[in-house]
Amino acid sequence: MERLSVIIAKRLALGILTLFVISLIIFSATEMLPGDIAQTVLGQSATPDTVAAFRRELGLDQSAPTRYLNWLTGVAHGDLGMSLANRRPVSELIASRVGNTIFLSAYAAAIAVPLSLILGILSALYRNTTFDRSVNVAALAAISFPEFFVAYILVFFLAQTGYFPSMANVDANTAFGEKLYKTFLPALTLTLVVTAHMMRMTRASIINLLALPYIEMARLKGMSPLRVIVYHAVPNALAPIITVIALNLGWLIAGVVVVEVVFVYPGLGQLMVDSVSKRDLPVAQAVALLFAAAYVLLNLLADVLGMITNPGLSHPK
């Protein structure tokens, strides 16, 4: 347990360093965005003196390193700054959207994780059969298609026929059942994209274990193939499976941007795209850093769960 605590502390320190590097990249990328927020807010009819005064009010007249240090200091103290577009606290804008993004990610994960595990186990059990080949072809097809293409295909077949709405317009007053119905298409889009990765990793991990002596011994004892896989192979394959699941859950949170835009879903992804289009830098930077932090934390969770399920990983050879 003590060794695990040391490893977690090292991973946390590495995660903080990673977030620092990511913050540099995010700030540099937003600095390279074309356009001027002051000119955008004031309009083309604004005089140069008015634009210059407004830039001073927003702090945009300061040098980039100074603005980065001010932003990083504020983030370290929990202050994400003010939106340049509507002068509201960034934390307030994020708080109104983060619940929707978490709900959509959790909705997709609740479908994708059990589905991928079941398909991976069945593919390993019936490998090299028609079922196995069909599932692998479908998985490769899902991996090959970008999210927006999958989303538009689902809209064409399921929304235009009237089964589901093409726009996931939900709010705080939307009932839970209605919310599940309205967000089914974006959740299904995310599910189709991430299920393939988790299913293939589950299948590969189990097949690698099926050739080991203890699996052969279980077969010789007369155990059914399904029981051998579920009770003997799956527990020892959990470390890589948990890792790929955690990574895909991180992608679900950070990868909802395109899906939210396609379905006009009021989440962090839509907020980020709107902020970039308006050149509202503090909001775009805060959302991007939040996505990065979620991904780093889920990577840490994957490492910890992997070491718990397979203690040998915490003891380097």
For the chain, the structural domain boundaries read 90-314
- Report pLDDT for 143: 79
- Report pLDDT for 181: 92
Query: pLDDT digits over 218-232, tens only?
Result: 777 888 877 887 777
- Report pLDDT for 228: 81
Residue given tokens 């490998």 in the structure block: 127
Cβ–Cβ under 8 Å, residues 78 and 31: no
In the three-class reduction of DSSP (H, G, I as helix; E, B as strand; rest coil), residue 8 is classed as helix
- Report pLDDT for 110: 92
Residue 253 to residue 210: CA distance in whole angstroms? 34
- Report pLDDT for 183: 92
Q: Which residues are 89's β-sheet partners?
A: 82
The structure's pTM equals 0.83
Q: What is the largest CA-CA distance in the chain?
A: 87
Residue 258 to residue 147: CA distance in whole angstroms? 7
Q: What is the CA radius of gyration of the chain?
A: 24
pLDDT tens, N- to C-terminus, the chain (317 residues): 557 778 778 888 888 898 889 889 988 887 777 766 777 767 777 777 887 887 787 777 788 888 888 888 888 888 888 887 777 888 888 988 888 999 998 999 999 989 998 998 888 888 888 998 998 888 888 878 888 888 888 888 888 777 888 888 888 888 899 999 999 999 999 888 888 888 888 888 888 887 788 887 877 788 887 788 777 787 777 777 888 888 788 778 777 888 888 898 998 888 988 888 877 888 888 998 998 888 888 888 877 777 776 666 555 55
Residue 35 to residue 94: CA distance in whole angstroms? 24
Regarding the domain with residue range 90-314, which homologous superfamily does it belong to in the CATH classification? Answer: MetI-like (1.10.3720.10)
Residue given tokens 């577009």 in the structure block: 85
